[in-house]
Chains A and B, each alone.
Chain A
Amino acid sequence: MTFFKKLLTLLCFVFPLLSFAMEDPWLILEKSAKASQQLNYEGVFHSQSSSESNSTHVIHANIDNKEYCLLKMLDGAPNEVFCSGDMVYVTSQDGLLIKKRKNQFLFPSVLPSDIKHLKKNYQLSFGEKKRVADRMAQHIELKAKDNLRFNYHIWIDDKNLLPLKLIVTNNKNQTIEQSTFTTIAFSEVIDKDIFEKNINLSKVYVSKNKFVENYVSNKFWNLKDLPSGFKEVDLISRRVNGLNLLDYQIIFSDGLAYVSLFIRPITRGTEPKEGTVAIGPTNISARYQDGYQIMSVGMVPPETVNTFSGAIEF
């Protein structure tokens, strides 16, 4: 065998390995986000925050490029969530609520499809593999590059890349919130009837969320010095009960963390509030300005919600 033949043979072996090694490690998150939308699976996951813990049974399927999911609470009231594309149907003892999903990422679909934004705000590193729900999973850590957000640890299935476990930690490495599969099974096909028996998909339901107006014609505020890495992803307005006034909710995200900034007119007899408090893993900052109660809410450090509530100018 000539030298060139030997070299060619060697390159044939080495090149695929090299290309794998050189692949952008962030791409694994993009593939994981796709996996959570495309895979058919059924299982039980356990969620825990500082104050509550509960188990949920989930069935997820992608049928004709449309996502369906059925989530049933196993603890407490037997409430259910049914997703069909962008529509979400919540059935509880109080009746049926229909919502349109915009930024909603229910576990395990926690990763955004566009990871560009994540790269700016988090540092990616690979941890050790371990078993989660009887499957091998790769630990990926997304460490915040600053003190404006928490850290996210995701364990993704070694074979099909579905997120199996999520832990959110603060900068002291304390767990803020976690969700993890306890059992999961994948299948090629899931029958559509499983979903249709819960909600009559041929029926036209009327959303009860009538007060939500998606179009805001007059943004009478300016935002200055927003926390870096967060961008506006949604704006919702609601009519204040019994008054010809609107309150506004501006939603910001860095790809994983979300903050809502509320601008609410103060009604007669209501005392304005100022300060910062924590309710479970959620921090809230309140400020009063020019007849409006400004509140920012999010599972982010207190400094971040404070900066958001101070960012409004009239």
Chain B
Amino acid sequence: MNEKISSLFDSEINNKDVDTLLSKKSKMEGVRSSMSDYQLISDVLKKKTILPKSNLTDKIMTAIDKEPTQMGGLVKANSSNTAVMSFEILPVLASLAVLIVIASTAFNIEVNSTSTNQFLAKEDIPQEIINAHHAATANNMNYFIQVGDSAK
């Protein structure tokens, strides 16, 4: 039934099924509710103006309340106390991070101090940059010839 309702709002249903669906809608409360939800989904996808439907919102909030809260895949609990715990653990984590930095400095352990390094990869460097550099500075003839291709 839900598939047919979805098809109706996607304009992918034939005329005969439309008649059947509409007649059921007027009779069954469940079908009416589903149609309301699919109407909302369709409006969101088509970026139409949406009026708030307290009915759906309530359902979503109820469903969220029933879901367990997870902390980075390590902590799993059913109560809302988990969220409070996450704030309690933050100072501990921060202290641990500071200790690691101090320890690595003290023992001269090589750490990746420039956190930005992870963002730049070889593939990110435009070839024209390398070529433009070699075109103006290289003493290796091979570089010099290669730059000819991109400088055109």
Contacts and interface: CB of A to CB of B under 8 A. Distances in A.
Interface of A: 47, 49, 52, 54, 56, 71, 73, 79, 81, 88, 90, 92, 94-95, 97, 99, 102-107, 109-110, 166, 177, 179, 208-209, 234, 236, 238, 249, 251, 253, 258, 260, 262, 273-277, 279, 282, 284, 286-287, 295, 297-298, 306
Contacts, number: 122
17 contacts: A56-B142, A73-B145, A79-B145, A90-B144, A90-B148, A97-B148, A106-B144, A209-B151, A234-B136, A249-B136, A251-B136, A258-B136, A260-B129, A274-B119, A277-B124, A277-B125, A279-B125
B135 interface: yes
A260 B133 contact: yes
B90 to A, nearest CB: 27
Contacts of B136: 102-104, 234, 236, 249, 251, 258, 260
B130 A297 contact: yes
Contacts of A104: 136-139, 144
B145 A295 contact: no
- DSSP majority for the B interface? helix
Nearest to A286: B120
A177 B140 contact: yes
Contacts of A95: 152
Interface stretch (B7-15, B45-53, B97-105, B110-118): B110-118
Contact of B151 (A109, A208, A234, A275): A208
Contact of B148 (A71, A94, A295): A94
B141 interface: yes
B132 A282 contact: no
Interface of B: 114, 116-122, 124-125, 129-130, 132-133, 135-142, 144-145, 148-149, 151-152
B120 A273 contact: yes
A110 B140 CA distance: 10
